[in-house]
Amino acid sequence: MDNAIRFLLDGEVIAIEAPDPTGTLLDLLRYRMRRTGTKEGCAEGDCGACTVALGSLHGDTVRWRAVNACILFLPMLDGKALITVESLSKGGALHPIQRALADGYGSQCGFCTPGFVMSLYARSIAAEGTEDLPVGDVLAGNLCRCTGYGPILAVGEAHPPAAPAADPALVVALRGLQRDAPLTLRHPGRTAFVPRTSDELSAFVADNPAARIVAGATDVGLWVTKQLREIDSLVFVGDVADLKIIDETPDGITLGANVRYSEARAALARLHPDLGELVRRIGGLQVRNAGTIGGNIANGSPIGDMPPALIALGATLTLRHGDARRTLPLADFFLAYGRQDRVPGEWVERIHIPQPPPGALLRIVKLSKRFDSDISSLCAAFLLPIADGRIGAARVAFGGMAGIPSRAPACEAALSGQPWSAQTLDAAAEALRDDFAPLDDLRGSAEYRLAAAGNLLRRLWHEQADIPALAHV
Amino acid sequence: MSEGDPMPPGAVHRSLPHDSADLHVAGTALYVDDLPEPPGLLHCAFGHATDGHGRLVALDLDAVRAAPGVVAVYTAADIPGDNDVSPVAGDDRLLAEAEILYPGQPLFLVAATSTRAARAAARLGRAVIEPLPALVTIADAIAANSLIEPTQVMRRGDADAALFAAAHRIAGRVEMGGQEHFYLEGQAALATPGEQGEIHILSSTQHPSEIQHLVAKMLGRAHADITVEVRRMGGAFGGKETQAAAFAAAAALVAATTGRAAKFRAARDDDMVATGKRHEFEIRYDVGFDDAGRIEGIRLDLASRCGATADLSPAINDRAMFHSDNCYFLPAVEIVSRRLKTHTVSNTAFRGFGGPQGMLGIERVMDAIAAHLGHDPLAVRRANFYGPGRDTTPYHMRVEDNVAPELVGALADRAGYDRRRADVAAFNAASPVVKKGLALTPVKFGISFTTTHLNQAGALVLVYADGSIHLNHGGTEMGQGLHTKIAQIVADVFAVPVDVVKVSATRTDKVPNTSATAASSGADLNGMAAYNAANTIRDRLAAFAAGRFGVAAADVRFTRGGVIAGGDVVAFASLCRMAHLGRVSLASTGFYATPDIHYDRATHTGRPFLYFAYGAALSEVAIDTLTGEHRVLAVDILHDVGRSLNPAIDLGQIEGGFIQGMGWLTTEELVYDDCGRLRTHAPSTYKIPTANDRPRHMQVEIWERGHNAAPTIHRSKAVGEPPFMLALSVFSALTAAVAAAVPGKGMPTLDAPATPERVLAALRDLRAR
């Protein structure tokens, strides 16, 4: 049986026999292939110095996305095409983006530069997630400590996204790497299973409930690079095609667990602009190009990038065990810090986000020390049906206020059935003190969290009463 | 290419790209970890103390030794010579001895066959530690009177009398956090053993000579046995001035004892936990002034957290005192500087070197005076500028090159200060939630190492018989474009194109006894040394040509068209060939020692700086009064770099320095727990500015009238550190915005970094008055 992964690099098929399933692409490039242009700055997906472009086959086209090589495990490369900074100047001449950065003083120490080159390159070929984003948003996952970013942003402005020319040879080559059966990788002390379908996945997980499911590895990657954990059995779900559905209907959106943030952003923004903006502020683009909404929910982070918003919207989760499925409100999935309502062998299959009721006021707000690529100190979502000057059954959910993302019952009670007024919002803000006793931590004090959370409720009135553009920075 | 239109005659004063720019963008610029790994290479990791201050009772390393891939494990007892990696005081242990001084301190060293094996094994050590009381905060250390050196006082005039007599007198305080350097390339070193005990070390360091000397002492070898080489660093900002030494020494220890090459590539979290940062400061002021806001007397109390050891804290705190005046004349002044010893990682050099902290203090005073009197803060600043008859600093040096008033006036005019101040007021009157603030602050920054003997540099220029030039100097390249500037200086001497000059790695076996590339002095010192070396060779070539072509040496001219000697024109390369055949030495060292500086540290008086660099920035911000979130909306900068050696590179330093300063004052928050453990030790939790934090409007100009009154290389001025402090305008603007949200309540109490939480707290505090 085949015990190797294969990927394309500069037109060549690279085969790695018996790869370590928790080996990273960055280490492969730097220490085995001696392509040292791709740098390690943080090994946690937060600085972008290791940015590479990964191409996947979609029908007759190849779709590219910029990703962080530092937390990309080797099995996730199988059947893909890879472009690194070295690829761009293969013929000896610099790529126009490289030329422009060099001549435009876009590098100082140069260490972050290859990552910027790759992010700008990915944007120039309209890679995933870049479509409608300004350059600054595309680059927010690349840290530079020297330049102040001005010259780099200028190069981006001068090289706008354009769909790349079709590359039939690449399509053919990639097609040759696709598998019609799941892949099992065996490495000393460690195995990995790479299913193609949700049925294969479900059967495997039912039989191997201890296996760690990995989608984008934006969290599990850090277990390996930072905590130095040894994970002996893994399931890589990134290529399970039938978990990639994005189903938009009049009553809401259904997302397969495997849909990446950047793939979902447009649909979620159509559901509500705040939801799109919330997604835009999760990680850098490289993280959104790897991380999935299903993975974000399944790992049960207390901050929970998406869950507060989804809970307020009344999202439901479908869990699967073998062939059995059950559906529960997302709010009920999070039991306590680090604990979810999921039995061994059960896995998150899809999530349904209902359309907010017509006329309802929906606001989703994230607070963080830095606007971009930061974990929220506080995330709030308010869904207030308002009719005839009165608030109906309010749904209010927060992240960062407790050990799990959760609703705020006292606050909801203070809103529901009350007149739509500044006084009601004041009362609801005060009621948060009955709902939460937040922690003090590095992202904010309990006092700040309570005060700011209350003020976010008060802001709802300002947004109505004042000029909306002046209601927030 | 991006050089200006008509080509100026020389290689200097021109915008040329960074000499490694093409390599940077191609990914082919090599950093320490990028070099091919020698066979048998060992990888290093420290076992770090996880708790704080305590006595090391026992260290059980059995599990470490038994871990897969481990080849050697070291404790302090295994160090053959001095267990010291400190720059001055001899108090920084490479590996801990009896006392654990701070959480994160290296206890032991592991060498293994892979990085992961070394790091995993390093987590298996079991230290038995008897806890001792830990001083973590500035307040803790003040209460315990815990100091790394005696409290220093700088004074001129009778501050108490002036305060007593002044028409107005106010007091206040401001706190400011530290700052992680966050160089993108972490600490790294590769040590390779040679014959007869020699060790070659590739290090990502700003101070190769110091590492050479420390490693020699650690191994009991002569300096000449140790060679340290630096091609480039992936950023440093002061964080690789002293802090690179531990990693290089560890790799050297492994190489020396195993006979195998050893690499130390620190993991980001380990790096952030175990290496020093910018000093936290608390500054108190008591200031007396007249009705115009002009200061008559002032007392400043500076307290800084130095951490567990001295490192460079004495000099850093001295520089904070030196910059407590910024651009302002303080007629009667007393500055008291307490250097506090705590059980936290030892703080170190960081761009500005104490200057930013001292300047934030006096800028806070300016804002407080303006708030007290209800005056425009810029008017108060202008009233206090140095000027004729008001030109002596608190350290008794005359300010002879004061261009701040003119430069500030030019910026205020260009950026429309008065109009925009009115616009901001009108906006605030109409906007209930979002409030704007505006501030224009100046910068005056003293150039020279304040430790006088460090102001020296050497260079080595080799001209080959084909006319190509090999340039070495004592400075290191960390991204600031130093090599490019010095290549320009040397090319200019010979009137050859810059690409004829090959700048190679900085090496202790080419230029000895160098100072750190620090204090913004890289181009000033090394540029002049290289200039002197090149001129020595040029004089020899001129003398040779004079003899050959029968003219006076003074009449031999080096031009872009060739060397002109009387009626003869000979290509530079041809002349070199002829000179070689004529047995003329085409190699020379060069040396430079900064003239006219002296300083008496006992009295804190003298002339510590050769000159001052100036700048000014106008920042406009908006705050959200409900959440404390804020944005820097617009920034206008005018900065003085003298006659720029390379305007484009200088602009990059100005803009990058500003953004780094803005990060220090806004989003970059170091959070420590009660034991002094750093909780923000990776970019996931420590937030430097991103591309989206760059102000949408950012107008940066080099002051076209810039000229150095001091005889520096081509009359240029240093540019590395001064622009950092342009960002003080952001902090003053945020303060102004907070004040605007709660009018009539006086000066807000806002500390740095002004995170959303602190801005909201400042608003709450103001409302409660």
Cα dihedral B413, B415, B418, B421, rounded to 10, equals -170
Q: Which amino acid is at A424?
A: T
Give the pLDDT band of residue A228 (cuts 50, 70, 90).
very high
The last residue of a domain, from among B593, B624, B656: B593
Q: In this complex, do A473 and B623 lie within 8 Å of one another by their Cβ atoms?
A: yes
CB proximity B627 to A under 8 Å? yes
Q: Find the CB nearest B757 among A84, A144, A444.
A: A444
Question: In this complex, is the C-beta atom of A473 within 8 Å of any C-beta atom belonging to chain B?
Answer: yes
* Subunit contact B757:A117, Cβ cutoff 8 A: no
CB contact under 8 A, B235 and A146: yes
Q: Is residue A232 very low, low, confident or very high in pLDDT (cuts 50, 70, 90)?
A: very high
Query: Is residue A251 over pLDDT 70?
Result: yes
The residue behind tokens 């073998």 is: A322
CA distances to B180, B188, B277, B476, B479 from B240, in Å: 12, 10, 11, 11, 13
| Residue B638, SS3 per DSSP | strand
**A470, B431: Cβ pair inside 8 Å?**
yes
Domain membership of residue B16 (yes or no) is: no
Q: Are residues B466 and B441 in the same domain?
A: no
User: Given CB atoms, is B768 within the 8 Å cutoff of chain A?
Assistant: no
Q: Assess whether B560 and B613 both reside in one domain.
A: no
In B380-399, the residues whose Cβ lies within 8 Å of chain A are none
Q: Do B378 and B511 fall within a single domain?
A: no
Q: Does A364 touch chain B (CB under 8 A)?
A: no
Q: Which of the listed CATH numbers 3.40.920.10, 3.40.640.10, 3.90.1150.10, 3.10.20.30 matches domain A1-178?
A: 3.10.20.30
Interface of B with A in 286-345 (CB under 8 A): none
For chains A and B, what is the number of CB pairs under 8 angstroms?
Answer: 279
Q: What is the arithmetic mean of pLDDT over A387-400?
A: 96
Q: What is the pLDDT of residue A467?
A: 67
Give the pLDDT score at A303. Answer: 66
A 8-47 near B (Cβ less than 8 A): 30-31, 34-44, 46-47
- Please give, rounded to a whole number of angstroms, the shortest distance from the CA of A116 to a CA of chain B: 9
Residue B173 lies in a domain: no
H or E segment to which residue B191 belongs: strand B188-193
Which A residues 272-331 touch B at CB under 8 Å?
none
Q: State whether B377 and B343 are in the same domain.
A: yes
Distance separating alpha carbons of residues A472 and A165, to the nearest angstrom = 42
Q: DSSP label at A356? A: P
In whole angstroms, give the CA distance from residue B609 to residue B603: 16
B359 and B251 in a common domain = no
Q: Is residue B23 part of a domain?
A: no
Query: In this complex, is the C-beta atom of A462 within 8 Å of any C-beta atom belonging to chain B?
Result: yes
Does pLDDT of A99 surpass 70? yes
ipTM beyond cut 0.95:
yes
Q: Do B251 and B361 belong to one domain?
A: no
Give the nearest chain A residue to B696 (CA atoms): A150
Residue B210 lies in a domain: yes
- Please count the other Cβ atoms lying within 10 Å of the Cβ belonging to residue B222: 9
> Hey, are the CB atoms on B679 and A442 less than 8 Å from each other?
yes
DSSP code per residue over A192-205 = EEE-SSHHHHHHHH
Cis check: omega of the bond before B753, within 30 degrees of 0: yes
Alpha-carbon gap: B692 to the closest alpha carbon of chain A (Å): 5
Is the CB of residue A143 less than 8 Å away from at least one CB of chain B?
Answer: yes
- β-pair type (A4-9, A12-17): antiparallel
Backbone angles phi, psi at A204, to 5 degrees: -65, -45
Query: For A371-388, what is the mean pLDDT?
Result: 96
Q: What is the pLDDT of residue B2?
A: 37
Residue B461: per-residue pLDDT = 98
Give me the helices (H) in B500-646, please. Answer: 522-549, 572-581
For B754, the closest chain A residue by CA position comes to A369
Chain B environment of A463 (Cβ under 8 Å):
none
Helix (H) or strand (E) holding A288: helix A285-288
A445 touches chain B (CB under 8 A): yes
If one counts every other C-beta atom within 10 angstroms of the C-beta of residue A398, the result is 29
CA atoms within 13 A on the CB side of B51: 14
DSSP 8-state code for residue B77:
G
State CA A440 to chain mean position distance. Answer: 26
**Whole domain around residue B246: which residue ranges?**
32-132+187-265
B12 CA: distance to closest CA in chain A (Å): 17
CA-to-CA separations, A372 to A46, A124, A354, A369, B126, in angstroms, rounded = 11, 21, 27, 9, 40
pLDDT band at A338 (very low <50, low <70, confident <90, very high): confident
Same domain, B235 and B372: no
B608 and B567 within one domain: no
pTM: 0.98
Question: Active-site residue B97, yes or no?
Answer: no
Task: Select from B626, B651, B678 the residue whose CB has the most chain A CBs within 10 Å, as the one to mutate to test that interface.
Answer: B626
Strands (E) in B36-163, as ranges, are 42-48, 54-60, 70-74, 99-100, 106-112, 126-131, 152-156
Whether chain B has a CB inside 8 Å of the CB on A48: the answer is no
Task: Write the CB contacts of B718 (distance below 8 Å, at least 6 apart in sequence).
Answer: B447, B519, B520, B521, B522, B523, B524, B613
Residues B576, B615, single domain; the answer is no
Domain map (residue ranges) of chain A: 1-178, 363-473
Residue A388 CB partners (closer than 8 Å, separation 6+): none
Question: Are both B344 and B290 inside the same structural domain?
Answer: yes
Residue A94 contacts B where some CB pair is shorter than 8 Å: yes
Give the residues of chain B that fall short of pLDDT 50.
1-8
- Do B220 and B85 lie in one domain? The reply is yes
Q: Does B652 touch chain A (CB under 8 A)?
A: yes
Q: What are phi and psi of B435, to 5 degrees?
A: -125, 140
Distance of CA B62 to the CA centre of its chain: 41
Whether A268 and A253 have beta carbons less than 8 Å apart is answered as: yes
Q: Does B745 touch chain A (CB under 8 A)?
A: no
Look up the CATH number of the domain holding residue B215. 3.90.1170.50
* B440 shares its domain with B498: no
What does the block give as tokens for A467?
């000029």
B59: which 2 tokens? 């260290």
Please tell me what DSSP assigns to residue B355: H
Please give the single-letter amino acid code of residue A452.
A
CATH number where B504 lies: 3.30.365.10
DSSP A160: -
Q: Tell me, yes or no, if A442 comes closer than 8 A to chain B by beta carbon.
A: yes
Average pLDDT, chain A: 95
Q: Which of B568, B593, B618 is the last residue of a domain?
A: B593
The confidence score (pLDDT) of residue A302 equals 65
Residue matched to tokens 């907070």? B738
Cβ of residue B271 closer than 8 Å to a chain A Cβ: no
Instruction: Tell me which of B185, B229, B363, B721 is the catalytic residue.
Output: B721
Q: Chain B: nearest CA to A148, how far in angstroms?
A: 4
User: Facing residues of B652 across strands?
Assistant: none
B1 chain-A contacts, CB cut-off 8 A: 103
Q: Is residue B165 part of a domain?
A: no
The listed CATH number (1.20.140.10, 3.40.50.2300, 3.40.50.10490, 3.30.390.50) that belongs to domain A363-473: 3.30.390.50
Of B627, B667, B684, the CB nearest to A367: B627
Q: Which of B593, B616, B633 is the last residue of a domain?
A: B593
Report the residue of chain A nearest B658, measured CA to CA.
A148
- The answer on pLDDT for A455 being more than 60 is yes
3-state secondary structure of A223: helix
Question: Which residues 178-237 on chain B approach chain A with CB closer than 8 angstroms?
Answer: 181-186, 232-237
Asked whether residue B159 is domain-assigned, the answer is no
Q: Give the distance from residue B344's alpha carbon to the nearest chain A alpha carbon, in angstroms.
A: 17
Residue B545 corresponds to which amino acid?
A
Number of separate domains in chain B: 3
| C-beta contacts of B708-713 below 8 A and 24+ residues apart | B708/B401, B708/B611, B708/B642, B708/B643, B709/B400, B709/B401, B709/B611, B710/B401, B710/B596, B710/B610, B710/B611, B711/B595, B712/B524, B712/B528, B712/B610, B712/B611, B712/B642, B713/B489, B713/B523, B713/B524, B713/B527, B713/B528, B713/B531, B713/B645
Rounded Cα distance between B262 and B532, Å, is: 38
Cα Rg, chain B, nearest whole Å: 27
